[in-house]
Amino acid sequence: MRYLGVCLVLFAALTLNVLSSYATGNKPNTGRTFNYSLFQDTTKNKNLPEKDSLRIDSLAQIKSKTLYNKLAGGVKKETKDLSLFPAISLQQNLKGNYAGLYVQEPSGEPGSIQNMFIRGVPMPLLSKKDLYDAQPLVVLDGIPLVREHPFAFDTQQFDFNRIGPATNLLAGIDLNNIASIEVLKDLATTSIYGPRGVNGVIVLTSKSAGGKYRAISFNSYIGMVQKPYVNTINGKYENEFRQRFYDLYTTNGRYSDDEEYPVYLSDSLNNVYSGKSDWTDLYYKNALIYGVNFSLAGGTDRANFRFALGNTKSEGVADETGIDRYSATFNINMRPTKWLLFSTMINANRLNRDRNRTLRDRFAQVNYFPDLSAPLPPNKDFYASYLQEYRKGFDDNKTNTIQGYAKLEGTFGKFKVISSFNADYSEGYRDVFYARTLLQGNSYASNYYGFSQRLMMDNKATYDLNLNKIHDFHFEVGQSMQWDIYKYNNAYAYKGVNDYIKINLLQSDPNLPNYLTPLAFPRELSYRFVDKTEDNLLSFYGKADYSFSDKYFVSAILRLDGSSNAQPTSRWFYSPTLSAAWNVKNEFLKDSRWIDDLVLRASVGRMGRPFSYDNYAQGPQYTASVGYTGNLTVPGYNAFGVLTRTYQFGWVGYGVPWSYSDQVNIGADASLLKNRLHVSVDLYSKTEKNQLIGIPAFAEYGYKQSIESGMSVNNMGVDLTISGLVISKSKFSWNSSLNLNHNANELKALPRGLDQLVVGNRFLKVGQPVDQYWLLVNNGIYTSDADVPVVNGQKLKYKGIPLKAGDPRWQDQNGDNTIDDNDKVLKGHSLPTVAGGFDNNFKYGNWSLATSLYFNLGRKLINQEMANRFDFVNREGNTDITSVKEITFWEKRGDYSKYPLYNPWSTVIPYRADQDLFLENASFLKLRQVSLGYELGNLLKKKNIKINKFLVYGAVSNIFTITPYTGQDPELVNYDGIDTGYGQPIPRTYTVGVKMEL
């Protein structure tokens, strides 16, 4: 598959050659003569029959969408409304712009993974595997794009980042090449995409030559990301912070002799830790960003093309992070005869990413923890020496992506046949070397290569029928085949011979007699992992649309989908969808001067939810956890597990059915006041059924869990979009747009008829939301032993430990005189209950001013960073992931005054994170962007300079945030709603740019 790009390029070159023959007047062997050039003005061309024109074909497509628009609830926007924001990823461009689409940005690090959810989450997000299953489908010109499959997490101890480059593949979308973006949310629009679109669909439509005979565009911007202002601390401040606890809970305000006080804090004269805290000079910086895109489009109505090249550089404000994107796009449309249309497209990207250098991510990568007794010093000179050691190695992350299609469309009167071949391929490389000076004398090397490949063949036939100019029918049958392959090779090793051999570290020399002996690393310290998973989907569908007198509209779809990831007894899934619309304007309000359009619509149906893993089709699993690194292996003999248990993946039985989603949507669209006011509202209910979840079971056989079907989750809510032309004068206009979504989820059922289930630190209860936290209720502090309640002579206990002065006053919910998990309650929501955006655009003459606000309401998060800060006793000096202190440890964050001074030495661990003491309101309002532009095109036209558009603009992004949250940023939170403090800041950005069209 790595040669697919070369094949597509050769195919495009061959097509371009044919295109040139048409454009230059050469005569291909078609039996007809064409006498017009590539850039001829086709409006004056008398040799071209109008019915043969690509323009007429485009108009026909627009006309045929009338019925679709009446039934659809999707919101479509041209990218000119989005492209002024200097985003590097598609998610950043879409944030706050579509009702019902929620974008989660855990870190401001360029190129890092971001999450999207349409109308809530379909299941509890217990791991990044669930996160993958909750993402919407992104479709580029009919190509359903692949994402990094999370099956590689099976070989990892931590799910911070997937092995490999872990680059956001949607950072490969250059918005300058996209004409429009549409978010589809209900089955009336998503069902045509099949099971892949069960979470909603985001449709990207590329710019094309269309009917223009010539078009040149140039878009560019340059700017700066501003480093944040932070308060730094040093060892003296940390000593003073801890001294308050010693004064309260130790004799004479001193630590006892049997307690080992941190060495790095014990000497107040040590300038390394207690001197200047100027590490931010090396960690945070003002950084450069820029983007440039050039495109050329041309041709005739019979053959046209568009070619674009672009480069975007986005540097982060922290830790020398950044990403470079190089992109190229080429598409062609040709109509060799009046009944045949041929189209092809290639979109290729190269992403070079500079990753963060955090200790946590590095230790998770190497599966090894060195001595953590002393953190990185806050002094710039000493921090610089650490960076120097880091630069002795490398961390190269490269990703290549290519998408392409070839499509044939034949029109035979009322019949139309369309056949297309789609391909999406991405490959990632990560080569890592850490010098021995970073790991207590142990050097580390890793090589990763992985790819994702999707091939798809689509075929469909349509027939349009009109009877008496009143009854309109549209019939469609289709079939598609989709083949997915995900594979990776990963190897790592420890204790190389020296720090100078950094290339081909894990390879052996085939010319040596002992070929299996590594050259640079001991064999016993080299580890290799190879894994692959496949997924095939075969689909058939039939679709019938009917409209009566432009008043009543009905559409029905019946699908049959077969997945290789389903078990043989449940390979196929039938899914029906019914949609209807009523044009109230044409029925009752034709003469109304106030109402220009009023449509009521509804859809109901079922869509299958395919399994992302082939494990569920295989029956019982025998994966076991072995080895000091904690990696998963598969020891076995003739399908019988041997030697090692527990079976980590869990038991998978037989008779597992498809999961599916039942959805109902009722909506209304209205245009008022001579189309100056547009309102769209949707009420929806989505119920996910037969989902899989692990139930603790079969421990006597060594299994951790039994993966069973039967979980059901419902999302109900409302989407609202209001846009209007508030003022329309000859020189001044004001457009305003508000979108918001309110969503509430509820767990409806669990397997086996269970009412509740504990999974790790999550508690799932039927009838309750799935995004709540399971927490102890904190009512303050016991200031003396006498304050602790006594029942029947027994003091209140925490899991058998009597509570004392200095312990938290946790609420005994069930009155059994014991604080334990039974006293935890479900509180808060990790996802917003209301989210949306508010945009305003002003125009005066050639000047334009735009503002964009983004808000989340009803959302809470756990401030894990503050819990870790106060729980210094249990985190100090341990060799595990929770004890890692980054350089940002020396940054003052949060409001210390809101936390009681508990006894940190108490064995009840008073500063545990699973209590509402650290649950904070994370609602916010952000001013995302203000842009000011001036259109020079009108002035240039007056001077006879032929130019269609020449916009010069300046913009400021991420300007301010209003929030009650006391942490770093309420957006920088993991998918589980926990703020660990590891997310890099989302920076304020200043840009100036130009958009030109000739």
Average pLDDT score over residue span 636-650 = 55
Average pLDDT score over residue span 837-844 = 95
DSSP per-residue letters across 893-953: -S-GGGS----TT-TT-TT-SSBGGGEEE--EEEEEEEEEEEE-HHHHHHTT---SEEEEE
pLDDT score, position 90: 94
Question: Where would I find the H helices in 95-253?
Answer: 128-133, 187-190, 235-249
The answer to whether residue 844 scores a pLDDT higher than 50 is yes
Report the candidate in 451, 286, 430, 316 with the shortest Cα–Cα distance to residue 362: 430
Q: Which of 700-704, 854-858, 885-889 has the lowest mean pLDDT?
A: 700-704
pLDDT score, position 670: 92
The DSSP output letter for 284 is B
User: Whole-angstrom Cα distance, residue 988 to residue 336?
Assistant: 51
Most distant CA atoms of the chain, gap in Å = 105
Average pLDDT score over residue span 578-593 = 90
Measured CA to CA in angstroms, residue 879 lies from 360, 367, 438, 509, 977 at distances of: 12, 12, 15, 37, 25
pLDDT score, position 639: 46
The answer to whether residue 203 scores a pLDDT higher than 90 is yes
Residue 68, H or E segment = helix 66-71
- What type of residue is 608? G
The DSSP output letter for 485 is E
User: Whole-angstrom Cα distance, residue 334 to residue 54?
Assistant: 8
Query: In a 3-state reduction of DSSP, which class is residue 576?
Result: strand
| Model confidence pLDDT, tens digit, residues 233-271 | 999 999 999 999 999 998 876 666 556 788 899 888 888
∠585-587-593 over CA atoms, to 5°?
35
The answer to whether residue 414 scores a pLDDT higher than 50 is yes
User: Whole-angstrom Cα distance, residue 793 to residue 787?
Assistant: 14
| Model confidence pLDDT, tens digit, residues 23-63 | 334 433 433 333 323 223 333 333 333 334 343 332 233 33
Average pLDDT score over residue span 533-560 = 94
User: Whole-angstrom Cα distance, residue 818 to residue 811?
Assistant: 10
User: Whole-angstrom Cα distance, residue 93 to residue 854?
Assistant: 12
- What type of residue is 814? N
By CB atoms closer than 10 A (0-12, 13-18, 19+), residue 804 is middle
Cα 542 from chain centroid (whole Å): 32
DSSP per-residue letters across 353-392: EE----HHHHHHHHT-----SS---S-HHHHHHHHHHHTT
The answer to whether residue 361 scores a pLDDT higher than 50 is yes
Reported as a pLDDT band with limits 50, 70 and 90, residue 154 is confident
Placement of tokens 């997310």 in the chain: 983
Average pLDDT score over residue span 847-866 = 96
The answer to whether residue 18 scores a pLDDT higher than 60 is no
Mean of all residue pLDDT scores within the chain:
87
Return all residues near 22 (Cβ < 8 A) that are at least 6 apart: 28, 34, 38, 300, 302, 303, 334, 336
Determine the straight-line distance between the first and last CA of the chain, rounded to whole angstroms: 38
Cα 80 from chain centroid (whole Å): 22
Measured CA to CA in angstroms, residue 500 lies from 392, 439, 490, 526, 863 at distances of: 9, 16, 22, 18, 42
pLDDT score, position 40: 31
The answer to whether residue 65 scores a pLDDT higher than 50 is no
CB of 281 closer than 8 Å to CB of 378: no
pLDDT score, position 834: 97
The DSSP output letter for 506 is T
Q: What is the CA radius of gyration of the chain?
A: 31
Return all residues near 474 (Cβ < 8 A) that are at least 6 apart: 64, 67, 462, 463, 464, 465, 543, 544, 545, 546
DSSP per-residue letters across 638-677: TTEE-S---BSS-EE-S-PPPEEEEEEEEEEEEEETTTTE
CB of 118 closer than 8 Å to CB of 199: yes
Percent of the chain with pLDDT over 90: 70
| Residue 614 in tokens | 């082939």
pLDDT score, position 26: 42
| Residue 50 in tokens | 């109008």
pLDDT score, position 805: 95
∠685-691-692 over CA atoms, to 5°?
155
User: Whole-angstrom Cα distance, residue 576 to residue 925?
Assistant: 41
Q: Which of 245-254, 580-589, 858-867 has the highest mean pLDDT?
A: 858-867
Average pLDDT score over residue span 402-429 = 96
Cα dihedral sign, 869-871-873-876: negative
Report the candidate in 284, 451, 281, 435 with the shortest Cα–Cα distance to residue 356: 284
pLDDT score, position 73: 64
Residue 560, H or E segment = strand 552-563
Average pLDDT score over residue span 456-462 = 96
User: Whole-angstrom Cα distance, residue 258 to residue 270?
Assistant: 23
- What type of residue is 971? E
Placement of tokens 């979108």 in the chain: 739
pLDDT score, position 43: 32
The answer to whether residue 689 scores a pLDDT higher than 80 is yes
Average pLDDT score over residue span 689-716 = 91
| Reduced 3-state DSSP string for 669-699 | EEEECCCCEEEEEEEEEEEEEEEEEEECCCH
Return all residues near 264 (Cβ < 8 A) that are at least 6 apart: 235, 270, 272, 273, 373, 374, 375, 377
Placement of tokens 């130009």 in the chain: 994
Report the candidate in 96, 93, 97, 98 with the shortest Cα–Cα distance to residue 83: 93
User: Whole-angstrom Cα distance, residue 303 to residue 333?
Assistant: 6
User: Whole-angstrom Cα distance, residue 134 to residue 821?
Assistant: 29
pLDDT score, position 259: 62
| Residue 581 in tokens | 């619309």
Reported as a pLDDT band with limits 50, 70 and 90, residue 226 is very high
Cα 7 from chain centroid (whole Å): 30
| Model confidence pLDDT, tens digit, residues 478-490 | 999 999 999 999 9
| Residue 36 in tokens | 């017009």
pLDDT score, position 509: 58
Reported as a pLDDT band with limits 50, 70 and 90, residue 573 is very high
CB of 292 closer than 8 Å to CB of 995: no
| Model confidence pLDDT, tens digit, residues 958-967 | 999 999 999 9
User: Whole-angstrom Cα distance, residue 265 to residue 377?
Assistant: 11
Query: In a 3-state reduction of DSSP, which class is residue 318?
Result: strand
User: Whole-angstrom Cα distance, residue 262 to residue 921?
Assistant: 34
Report the candidate in 264, 257, 502 with the shortest Cα–Cα distance to residue 374: 264
What is the phi/psi pair of residue 43, to 5°?
Answer: -70, -15
pLDDT score, position 593: 87
Average pLDDT score over residue span 338-353 = 95
By CB atoms closer than 10 A (0-12, 13-18, 19+), residue 389 is middle
User: Whole-angstrom Cα distance, residue 937 to residue 949?
Assistant: 5
The answer to whether residue 828 scores a pLDDT higher than 90 is yes
CB of 567 closer than 8 Å to CB of 652: no
| Residue 832 in tokens | 């917003």
Return all residues near 222 (Cβ < 8 A) that are at least 6 apart: 288, 289, 290, 991, 992, 993
User: Whole-angstrom Cα distance, residue 426 to residue 165?
Assistant: 12
The DSSP output letter for 323 is E
Query: In a 3-state reduction of DSSP, which class is residue 169?
Result: helix
pLDDT score, position 511: 65
User: Whole-angstrom Cα distance, residue 193 to residue 138?
Assistant: 11
pLDDT score, position 284: 97
CA dihedral 10, 16, 18, 24 (to 10 degrees): -150
The answer to whether residue 836 scores a pLDDT higher than 80 is yes
pLDDT score, position 976: 92
Reported as a pLDDT band with limits 50, 70 and 90, residue 116 is very high
The answer to whether residue 876 scores a pLDDT higher than 90 is no
Percent of the chain with pLDDT over 70: 86
Residue 646: asked if its preceding bond is cis (omega within 30°), the reply is yes
User: Whole-angstrom Cα distance, residue 506 to residue 520?
Assistant: 7
The answer to whether residue 826 scores a pLDDT higher than 80 is yes
Q: Which of 644-658, 770-784, 879-893 has the highest mean pLDDT?
A: 770-784
